[in-house]
Amino acid sequence: MIDTALATIPETDAPAESLPISPVYGTWPDRTTICHASASGKGSAIRFELHPARGRVAGHIFIEVARQKTVASMQGEVPTFATFDWENKICCKMGLGDLAQMMMVFRGMQESIQDGKGLFHRSAKANTVIKFSHQIEPRPGYMFSASCKPFDGELRDAFFVFRPEEAVWFSTALEAAMSVLVFGVPTATAECML
């Protein structure tokens, strides 16, 4: 379940007026977040940000994972919601090949990406290892984990487990997003000529 009420939203998030607009589809959201808060403070949140193809450049999805920062409290008249440590998030830029690997796990073609070895991303600032696997125990679902080692800092890691119902809607959304990641957002001028 998407629970945006529990997520901390930075003030820099774009207002609805500045979201991408397609003459075919109208305004559409480019970001969604799922939060799993726990009473023990060991929950996590995951955020997806879609960047469609532009011109001849393929699109990508940023996947950000953050650990739970504070627990919720229902004491007093005003409840406080759990927050997540977005300042120390791990951000993964997932291209077409990376996302296809995730789809293979969702479709049951493999149990994990690269037989559990994961994907290795190297940037100018850090090395990141991204893993995604189907799991049965301790709870059924799909686990996305990322560990990041900046060249000048400490190793950080975070994980998120998709519940089965979240896996259904996310895998469906991911499959649908592949067309805009490859071809971009449809426009009125991109209509088929018969």
pLDDT at 35: 92
Residue 83 token pair: 């927050």
Quote the pLDDT of residue 89: 93
Q: Give the CA count within 13 Å in the CB-facing half-sphere of 57.
A: 4
DSSP-derived pairing of the beta strands 21-22 and 31-36: unpaired
Fold classification of 4-189 is Transcriptional Co-activator pc4; Chain A (2.30.31)
- Distance, in Å, from the CA atom of 160 to the CA atom of 106, rounded to the nearest integer, reads 15
> Over the stretch 7-29, which tens digit does the pLDDT of each residue have?
333 334 444 444 444 444 445 55
Question: In this predicted model, what pLDDT tens digit does every residue of 115-142 receive, in sequence order?
Answer: 999 999 998 889 999 999 999 988 899 9
- Which tens digits make up the pLDDT trace of 60-96? 999 999 999 999 888 878 888 899 999 999 999 999 9
Rounded to whole angstroms, the Cα distance separating 189 from 193 reads 10
